[in-house]
Chain A
Amino acid sequence: MAEPIVELRHITKRFPGIVANDDVSLSINKGEIFAVLGENGAGKSTLVSMLFGMYEPDEGEIFIRGKRERIDSPRYATQLSIGMVHQEFRLVSNYTVTENIILGLEPKRKFLGLLPYVDIRKANNDITELSERYGLKINPEDVIENLNVASMQKVEILKMLYREAEILIFDEPTAVLTPQEIKALLLVLDGLRDYGKTIILITHKLNEIKAIADRCAIMNRGKLVSILDVKTTSTDEMARQMVGHEISFTTEKKPAKFGDVVLKVADMSVKSITGYEAVKGASFEIHSGEVFALAGVSGNGQNELADAIAGLMPCSGGSVILNGQDITRASVREHIEAGIAYIPEDRHNVGLVLDFTLRDNFPLRQYYSPAFSSKGVISESAFNEHGQKLLERYDIRSSQGGATITRSMSGGNQQKAIIAREVDMRTPLIIFMQPTRGLDAGAVMNIHRQIVAERDRGAAVLLISLDLDEIMDCADTIGVIYNGSINKIAPASELSVDDIGLYMMGVGKTA
């Protein structure tokens, strides 16, 4: 009965300085949900990218339906009826749902039997029918840029189905969804299996695998650790194999001791770059010794809120008070000097100057102070000493110490460097924006510990994250932002993940 549809034999793929996949062999059966589990950097994405023709393996062979294939382009993968939903969606933002789906396979007609044109009316009908058959309800004439993330994902799935894909690859499909949306997606995946589709699901979330997968391959540092039958394996066992040792998923923390109010945001409004009101009358307070975590679906005003508190964007209304001082209209430098540290979401463009050395990146917020320069001339020795101190104190790994070009470092160490720079200023308020995005479990634990340590030192911490596990792990108080307004504020102990998910969707408008 188990008929292999995909077979990988001794696949090895190297990138400069790293072996992404090391002699991986596995076979996937028709009609099953096959999960690939591993930490960031374990080589999951690389492995399936080769199935979809984005890379070619250096060694080894790929068999599709028993036939050896050289998949050298996504186009050829599509011909083999393999489809993939990438982490970053590949959609044309000013096109409608239908136009995106039919792109490359447009139904054509001839006007007066002569002039060829794209038959959009027929396409719309086809897409409506397709979306109803697979339970992916969507309006084919909506324009992509007006859709939310979950709907865009539906479009990506429909794109594969329109091309009659039989092997569907999902790369971390739930990373951007709310708990309710995740449930809906898992139902859809289940339905697709009933239609006989083969599903390859990349994830690092164990409960999702447990919920729907049939079998699960575990990868660690490019190597295949094992292939498990999901029904008979516990999540603890999967986790142990994934990391290679026992890990605890929760950060140890002492009960919080709240002090005075450090940050008071009152009725704050912020206009986004494109001019619409991204934050609408947000109010909250953070005390000394408190981690205030702000949950929400991406794009609900979190970026603007954080940027406005840090002074990078102007407030269009309301006020920001730090330790009794009104900093609503202060400049960025005044914000820094008032005592705000900011770990931004975009570590490459906002957090670091990538082509600077590590030691030049550290004093970016203080270089002008007497400690680092005098009369406009920079003190190289002060830069060196400061760099050395931070490298040791925060355990930042780099090939050439302080002289390392930041661009060449791993994402985890870049993030460590930013956190070191910001935390070391010992400011009364620290803003962490998505601090662990794209990092592996070890680094995540480390950062969570640091967040809690800062709280215990007496800092007020604002943690903004899309990851609910992170929020549950660190927060003393949880606020939920929806459509620019803070929907709910409550002590962390009073909210469950499901509650937060509902508020994230805008349900339950009680403040």
Chain B
Amino acid sequence: MLDMIIIDGLSFALPLFIMAIGGIYSEKSGITNLALEGFQGFGAFTGAIAVVWLSGIFGPSSQVPYYAGFVCAVIGGGIFALLHALLCIRFKADQVISGVVMNILAMALTSFLTKSINASLFGNTANKFMLGASTRITIPGLSEIPVIGAVFRDIYPFEIIIVVVALVMWYVLYRTVYGMRLRACGDNPHSADAAGINVYAVRTVAVFISGCLSGIAGLAFAYSVSANFSPDIYLGYGYLSIAALIFGNWSILPSLGACLIFGFARSGGAAIINQLGLPSGYNDLVRILPYVLTLLLLVFFSKHNHSPRALGQIYDKGQR
């Protein structure tokens, strides 16, 4: 049972984590990002189209659609995020409102497009794209270690993608010139501007990255939660990852901790229900566990955490 908790917990926590990193990029640059939910949904949508389309070409046993799907999810999520960047940066819209609008837009647009694409391209009336089950990888040797071995057992390939991407994103944010400038823009855009940094460009790229990373998360959820893409993808995981990055105090490593807590709370709860032999209806109860945890953690963490100083402020060059 412990194995199941670890395996399911990780497959839930890691997509959450990569999306939280996306949120950190956006918010550390000074753009409030409530739109992660919409980004992941849209990314999952574009990824799923690619998977379905390429499966028809390469056949169901090929691995190409899977990886190409993730590439398309990254691109789709990123492009959709540019709309948020456009509204917040170019048109100086209120970032909270823009974020909410993005979420509603993603939900409506993807349900509509899913139906019409299914009808016109694949000739059926379903409101979902069937992805098929993902392969799972077990690393020989490492997976034999007692208890911890479960970490290396039945891994979704996307979990490996996420770990690699997360490492790269950590390095970029904390070690490179771009990362340093990005964090400066979120604290004091005026000083960044005075230092010759193009604040608008830095922020636009940051929001784009948050869309890309959310796209990975979206398709990952589509694979692991339901093995298809449907409007049911909007379960609030985007908001959960925002909660995670707030508990993580807008830093990558602590946010990983928060995501793992959420992941294991969910898989642990499911395992307990299972063990007690309760009816499956109680599974819905378990799904709220991460959110209850969110409420509790909010009480304790809100006081000590500090958001980036310029978060949510519209930056206008002309204004002094």
Q: Give the B-binding residues of A (Cβ under 8 A).
A: 54, 74-75, 78, 86, 90-95, 99-100, 103-106, 108, 115-118, 159
Least Cβ–Cβ distance between B205 and chain A, in angstroms: 16
Whether the Cβ atoms of A117 and B176 lie closer than 8 Å is yes
Q: Which of B133-175 contact A (CB under 8 A)?
A: 171, 175
Stretch of B73-81, B185-193, B228-236 lying at the A interface: B185-193
Q: Name which of B171, B180, B195 has the most chain A CB atoms within 10 A of its CB.
A: B195
Whether the Cβ atoms of B175 and A90 lie closer than 8 Å is no
Given contacts A103-B180, A118-B177, A118-B180, contact A91 B191 (CB under 8 A): yes
Cα separation A360 to B175 with both chains bound (whole Å): 54
Q: Name which of B177, B180, B191, B320 has the most chain A CB atoms within 10 A of its CB.
A: B191
- Give A108's nearest chain B residue, CB to CB: B177
Whether the Cβ atoms of B181 and A103 lie closer than 8 Å is yes
* B279 lies within 8 A of chain A by Cβ: no
- Give B187's nearest chain A residue, CB to CB: A92
* B1 lies within 8 A of chain A by Cβ: no
Whether the Cβ atoms of A104 and B309 lie closer than 8 Å is no
Q: Give the A-binding residues of B (Cβ under 8 A).
A: 171, 175-177, 180-181, 183-184, 187-188, 190-197, 309, 320
Cα separation A92 to B28 with both chains bound (whole Å): 12
Whether the Cβ atoms of B191 and A103 lie closer than 8 Å is yes
Q: Name which of B171, B177, B194, B320 has the most chain A CB atoms within 10 A of its CB.
A: B194
Least Cβ–Cβ distance between A143 and chain B, in angstroms: 12
A-B contacts, 28 of them at CB < 8 A, read A74-B193, A74-B194, A90-B190, A90-B191, A90-B194, A91-B188, A91-B191, A92-B183, A92-B192, A93-B187, A93-B188, A93-B309, A95-B183, A95-B184, A95-B187, A103-B191, A103-B192, A103-B195, A103-B197, A104-B181, A104-B192, A104-B196, A104-B197, A106-B177, A106-B180, A108-B177, A117-B171, A118-B176
Whether the Cβ atoms of A115 and B171 lie closer than 8 Å is yes
Contacts of A86 in B (CB 8 A): 194
Given contacts A117-B176, A118-B177, contact A92 B188 (CB under 8 A): yes
Contacts of B196 in A (CB 8 A): 74-75, 78, 104-105
Least Cβ–Cβ distance between A152 and chain B, in angstroms: 11
- Give B179's nearest chain A residue, CB to CB: A118
Going nearest first, the 9 A-B pairs with the smallest beta carbon separation are A104-B195, A90-B191, A103-B195, A75-B196, A117-B175, A104-B196, A92-B187, A92-B184, A90-B194
- Give B168's nearest chain A residue, CB to CB: A115
Contacts of A106 in B (CB 8 A): 177, 180
Whether the Cβ atoms of A100 and B320 lie closer than 8 Å is no
Contacts of A108 in B (CB 8 A): 177
Contacts of A159 in B (CB 8 A): 195
Besides the known contacts A75-B196, A103-B181, A118-B177, 13 further A-B residue pairs in the complex with CB atoms under 8 A apart:
A90-B194, A92-B184, A92-B187, A92-B188, A93-B187, A94-B187, A94-B309, A95-B187, A99-B184, A103-B191, A103-B197, A104-B195, A104-B196
State which of B180, B190, B193, B194 has its C-beta within 8 Å of the C-beta of A99.
B180
Given contacts A74-B196, A90-B194, A104-B196, contact A116 B177 (CB under 8 A): yes
Cα separation A99 to B191 with both chains bound (whole Å): 12
Whether the Cβ atoms of B176 and A54 lie closer than 8 Å is no
Q: Name which of A75, A104, A116, A159 has the most chain B CB atoms within 10 A of its CB.
A: A104
Contacts of A104 in B (CB 8 A): 181, 192, 195-197
Cα separation A197 to B187 with both chains bound (whole Å): 31
Cα separation A299 to B171 with both chains bound (whole Å): 37
Cα separation A95 to B191 with both chains bound (whole Å): 12
Cα separation A211 to B54 with both chains bound (whole Å): 78
- Give A89's nearest chain B residue, CB to CB: B191
Contacts of A90 in B (CB 8 A): 188, 190-191, 194
Contacts of A94 in B (CB 8 A): 187, 309
Cα separation A103 to B196 with both chains bound (whole Å): 9
Contacts of A99 in B (CB 8 A): 180, 184
Least Cβ–Cβ distance between A218 and chain B, in angstroms: 24
Cα separation A159 to B320 with both chains bound (whole Å): 19
Contacts of A117 in B (CB 8 A): 171, 175-176
Contacts of B180 in A (CB 8 A): 99, 103, 106, 118
Cα separation A93 to B184 with both chains bound (whole Å): 9
Cα separation A176 to B196 with both chains bound (whole Å): 26
Contacts of B190 in A (CB 8 A): 90
Cα separation A94 to B191 with both chains bound (whole Å): 12
